[in-house]
Structure 1
């Protein structure tokens, strides 16, 4: 019952929604600042939406050598549109380690100025030892980069791709898709408009992109002999002198002129300046290659790559070599110093030094402050060495250590985030060292943002390795961080991982907890049917094992789901069940949200006196327990709505003033948006039309910024009602139409029925009886699903107008 309850609206209850997708209805939005005096609208104009400009390119490649011909060819390709005017797509193909990513990054930096609307970059991890990055996950990153709030990101791949294409339509955006394994990974990420360039790197030809998407392919070969020598010379400059060019050429040949192998070999030469090149090349030539071959389309190149890897690896001091191979067991794409320390059972300071040695040898690369990653070939090599040199038990122990470290660090982040959710870890569980210390809520959120991909990978690896307790506890621990950051994809995926792990353990309490977190995840992402199923499953399990506090929690969760579905009788039953338990057994602070939820049910049923009584009771609990300000504001907004509906504007104004006074910098923007919506309705009903329009626009701006499309629609509907009162009937019709379009897309039947009724009234006043009849008929069909008194009253009114 820790959820924020839905706030009041002009003619219904705001129950969430998703962000306008800048297509369809969103293109019809009028942008207004202050609307005062004579208002004249002559059809909707495009909205001015401030969209962030993503700058996601990694740093340019240091010591880049050669590829002048390829860069010239790429420049020429970008200078002209693709065949038949298709969006330009360039595929840089080539064997592993040939320098595809380096070339793509160098090109991207050279031409970034031609793409003022943004540069996107994602590693699709098509050749990592773990699973590749799914297109839906890549699209989520892109949409967030363009400022789309999490609640606005659709669940389905196709819908995400449509929103993405809408956002980049008419823009000049550079998209770099690194390490793509299949066409299926790439195609959903392609912009749908000219003016953009997509650069794809892959070990495969990806011929389907050429056939269907007009892609041009450049196949990257080995560096030329002179370019290879130049790379070695550049990497060893300042460390070695007097090397014979013929010996440099021989070293390059042994590296198959592959940039990855060349850089590792050059680093070895630079760190051994007194060792003559003939001795280095002899060592490399004699290096054992008796380990399983890496995947490569060319065996000679694979032999050269693994020879260089083995040559460099076998010269590492034992502690550094062990850390290298243990890092191959880390499930995520990158790792921090602290995670590496947990994996290797060393202190962070010592681990940092070992990591720097590996980075200096080009066996890993630094990606930021205290963070590192592998090239995918080197990760495969490290993993293989771990499988060969570490016992199965030691490998399992290493994974267990790093998983436990992530679990306890996540628990520390949960505590720092200052949520009401208790820890699921028992006091018997040993706390590993070192766990990150967090400096408050924002620091915890920043850690979760950095580690988000790793946390999902850890949960998956833990489940696969039989570490089922860690798998479900990690999901449960991250519950409150997922709520705060709206990371719906990972939240739901981890919830299902945790649920299956709890089932394997036969732990019914853990299963109920996982159903509960999934219920909240689906509810907050507006997938109410799934939310109801999981909350009901949690309720059934908790009833079965006699977990009465859990029963109350699940009943409250179901009550909110039913409220958002406007199943008001069911909502009241469940919320009353939760309230009864909290009143008898505590904790007392949880009676406040239950009372407020029941107040919303009463308000939706038109029981104004009961709603006010319950809201006042909730406020008493909030005052006595020191509840957050947003909870007080929420209850006072409901009192404002109830007083307004009861025809007491003076009382409504008093409650509104109290709610406004309690808003502060910590208040959620959604709550401020709801305050504007209620204030606007109050202005409109008192014929203060200029103030109503100004306040509705303030509401619309906030609702759009947080991704609440339902809130946007209700603001448009309120503007339409105000326009009608001003006699601006065509404008009123436009705004009601926009509201109805959004609500229809969101399947918000109750709010849509009301918007259609308002739209019909505007058409009728404008001497358009046929569209008025049509919209009333649709509204009546929608109202068949509702039996509550307000729905019955609206049904009677519409039938009277239809038959009159």
Structure 2
């Protein structure tokens, strides 16, 4: 007992010895709901260490390896709370000599001692004096003249357990006119009403449950009802608004009741308007809900809070983008209690705070047979997931939603879930998985005669094909999408398909066609007042085309227009692409210092969003610039770094480009053997690509190799 308090106290006292940071995670190994997976805990740690979403490895072992490598030369303190098994805690051990990990558990976790060299510290009971002191301290200023023997008796009835002692002390402090003998008599009577919790130590468990019941039975009926219903909330914490939705109450009324419950130590505040349970109290509250609420009311409470999350998520999605329509039926009235957001950042902050709860709610609705909400929620959250690159939660929710849609036999919903899984796969560069899901969505939508859905899936497949540099297949799919949008709308999507096709045309060196498509897209976005971020891509295509034609003044005009638009989007990914194009313009004009500055700005932003391909392209550009300056050894280093990254990512086209630049630099540095080796590899990599640019490159390389 007192494990968490002791660990946190130690962490605060020792924090000065760990200058690179302190980490805390509650693994929830003893909660009524599912424990926190080590992979999810590692995601949080890696994000705290500056690893952005797209750069997060997908597997547990890979995340653990990255975590340990990032802490290899660091001094950090890690507190891992409530681990149920050694396996749950082991991936979170840094492994560096300068780090310390403190693990709390109700079990001995012998594996950590045997395999990992952990030193076990067993916490015993508080003794009688310590228990009495805790009660005396907690009631000081509220009671006077209590008999020490009566205080000791109250402590004994609480089994000297800190949580029970705090609740009992709060009861004594709020009833100063009752003598301790009266309070202890009530507690003795209460102990006969409840069966003991399942526990290795039956006496302690019985005491805990008795104290909970003793405190719970003194609550006013509205507070007791809310306490029970909160036990049905599936997430690790809850906001005032979620609690109000769960109980079907006004927020102001629920806020007062939550204050009352927190004052009785039955819940714990975590911020201004958020609360959580101790895991034993959560189990008790859930048990009371099962005993005192009918199955119908339990189901209704879960449905109320799930609907609140759904409609609030819908409002948050609308606040961050306007392109994707709501998946909620238009005839479905908006939930009055749903939150309203002031803007994009307000909505993203809510999403960040509720991310774990959103996954828990999705799983709970699926388990409760609320399958329609179980697929609507992940479909609604797609845009928010995409902005935050929350791939683990995104894909986990979508898989639950897909299973729910399959149980319903709802093929439209299944297609939506396959579509969101396809987008998640594309954004995380799991391109094979992305293609499978987009194809599944396309097949379903084709069978249904859902032409708008077919267009959306075709557009998604077209983007995946382009990332694979399957340019003919990409164009075919994107033209299929464009044909539908031109005939049926929505008009903004016509613009999206046009600028996607402009990129493909540029890749195929069809410069005039690409420019025409990009200008058509811009005209549509201007006419419809589309979100500003949609216009940036079209401007980037035009800037690239002008640069390729040597029209640098025109290229800079397009970049300036894009920069002005970017002020409204706050998108680091788009800003990075702007810097990359800007750097290429400056390099080709011989403005080398400015080019290096822009490349480094691009590298920083690409690293912040986890785009390792983008980082490699920035390094490759730095190498090209240094080569132009005659700084050949430095240029070779940067090209080599780009090659290493792209080889790890299995990006054959981009890897071939970097190898070509590396070979050219080796040639300038009078190293023909290395140059020949890199060109030979590039020719092999370019083999599967049949577009004109790839063909020209292969021919040039083969000529150079044969010289």
Same fold by TM-score greater than 0.5: yes
**1:327 match:** 230
1:114 aligns with one of 4, 14, 17:
17
Equivalent residues of 1:342, 1:433 under 8 A apart = no
Residue of structure 2 in register with 1:276 after alignment: 179
Residue by residue, what CA displacement relative to the aligned partner does 1:178-234 show, whole Å, maximum 9, x if unpaired?
111111111111113122211111001111111222211111111111110000001
Q: Which residue of 1 aligns with 2:677?
A: 774
Q: Deviations over 1:63-90 (max 9, x none)?
A: xxxxxxxxxxxxxxxxxxxxxxxxxxxx
CA distance in 2, matches of 1:690, 1:158: 42
Name whichever of 597-606 and 764-773 sits farther off.
Answer: 764-773
Please state how far the C-alpha of 1:658 moved relative to its aligned partner.
4.2
Query: 1:648/1:318 Cα in 2 relative to 1: closer, same or farther (>3 Å)?
Result: closer
Give structure 1 regions of 4+ aligned residues with deviation exceeding 6 angstroms. none
Offset at 1:428? 4.3
Distance in 2 (alpha carbons) for counterparts of 1:791 and 1:291: 77
In the alignment, what sits opposite 1:608? 511
Residue in 2 that maps onto 1:356: 259
Note if contact 2:532-2:568 (Cα within 8 Å) is conserved in structure 1: no
Deviations 1:661-716 (A, max 9, x none): 54425342222222222222222223333332232222222222332221111111
Aligned match of 1:581: 484
Unaligned 5+ runs, structure 1: 1-97
Separation (CA, whole Å) in 1 of partners of 2:318 and 2:557: 38
2:89 matched residue in structure 1: 186
Structure 2 counterparts to residues 655-674 of structure 1, below 5 A: 655-660=558-563, 662-664=565-567, 666-674=569-577
Q: 1:508 corresponds to which residue?
A: 411
Partner residue in 1 for 2:397: 494
Distance 1:718 1:427, change over 3 A: closer
Matches within 5 A, 1:4-23: none
In the alignment, which residue of structure 1 is the partner of 2:50?
147
Tell me which of 480, 487, 496 is aligned to 2:383.
480
Q: Aligned pair 1:382/2:382, yes or no?
A: no
Task: Please list the CA deviations of residues 609-642 of structure 1 after superposition, one character each: whole Å capped at 9, or x if unmatched.
Answer: 2212222222222222223333333222212222
> Residues of 1 paired with 2:295 and 2:564: CA distance?
63
Contact 2:195 2:206 in 1 (8 A): no
TM-score, reference length from structure 2: 0.97
Identify which of structures 1 and 2 has the higher relative contact order when contacts are C-alpha pairs closer than 8 Å and 6+ apart.
Answer: 1
* Residues 712 and 304 (structure 1), Cα distance of their counterparts in 2 relative to 1, 3 Å cut: same
Instruction: Report the CA distance between 1:433 and its aligned residue.
Output: 4.2
**Cα drift, residue 261 of structure 1:** 0.9
Mapped partners of 1:627, 1:435: distance in 2: 26
Question: Please, which of 645, 648, 653 is the counterpart of residue 742 of structure 1?
Answer: 645
Q: What residue is the counterpart of 2:474 in the other structure?
A: 571
After superposition, the Cα gap between the structure-2 partners of 1:652 and 1:327, relative to the gap in structure 1 and judged at 3 Å, is closer
Structure 1 residue aligned with 2:116: 213
Match of 1:166 in 2: 69
Alignment counterpart, residue 678 of structure 1, candidates 559, 565, 581: 581
**Structure 1 residues 687 and 416, CA, compared in 2 at 3 Å: closer, same or farther?**
closer
Give 1:368's match in structure 2, choosing from 263, 268, 271.
Answer: 271
Alignment of 1:4-43 (within 5 A): none
- Separation of aligned partners in 1, 2:240 and 2:582: 51
C-alpha distance in structure 2 between counterparts of 1:359 and 1:334, whole Å: 13
Question: In the alignment, is residue 247 of structure 1 matched against residue 159 of structure 2?
Answer: no
SS in 1 for 2:583: helix
Q: Distance in 2 between matches of 1:549 and 1:326?
A: 42
Decide which of 602, 617, 630 is 1:714's aligned counterpart. 617
SS of equivalent residue, structure 1 residue 582? helix
Are residues 487 and 289 of structure 1, via their aligned partners in 2, closer, same or farther at CA, if it must alter by over 3 Å? farther
Q: Do the aligned partners of 1:289 and 1:303 also contact (CA within 8 Å) in 2?
A: no
Partner of 1:534: 437
1:294-336, Cα deviation, whole Å (9 max, x unpaired): 2322111111111111222222222222221111111011111
User: Which residue of structure 1 lines up, in the alignment, with residue 460 of structure 2?
Assistant: 557
2-side partners of 1:663 and 1:267: how far apart? 55
Q: CA deviation at 1:425?
A: 1.7
Instruction: Select the residue among 620, 623, 641 that pairs with 2:526.
Output: 623
| Residue number among 309, 312, 317 corresponding to 1:406 in the alignment | 309
Query: Which secondary structure state, in structure 2, belongs to the residue aligned with residue 217 of structure 1?
Result: coil
Secondary structure in 1 matching 2:122 = strand
| Count of residue pairs the alignment pairs up | 707
Q: Residue 639 of structure 1 corresponds to which residue in structure 2?
A: 542
Partner residue, 1:461: 364
- Give the counterpart of 1:725 among 628, 631, 638: 628
Unaligned runs of 5+ in 2: none
SS at match of 2:275: strand
Question: Cα 1:439–1:380, aligned 2, differ >3 Å: closer, same or farther?
Answer: same
How far off is 1:412 after superposition? 2.0
Does structure 1 residue 434 correspond to structure 2 residue 319?
no
Deviation at 1:650, TM superposition (A): 5.0
Contact kept in structure 2, 1:136 and 1:157, CA below 8 Å:
yes
* Alignment partners' CA distance in 2, 1:617 and 1:478: 30
Aligned to 2:600: 697
RMSD: 1.7
Is 1:787 the counterpart of 2:682? The answer is no
Q: Deviations over 1:750-800 (max 9, x none)?
A: 000111111122223323233222222221221122111111111112212
The alpha-carbon deviation at position 289 of structure 1 amounts to 4.5
Counterpart selection for 2:196 from 263, 276, 293: 293
More helix by share: 2
Q: CA deviation at 1:292?
A: 4.8
Structure 2 residue corresponding to 1:423, chosen from 320, 323, 326: 326
CA distance in 2, matches of 1:322, 1:653: 65
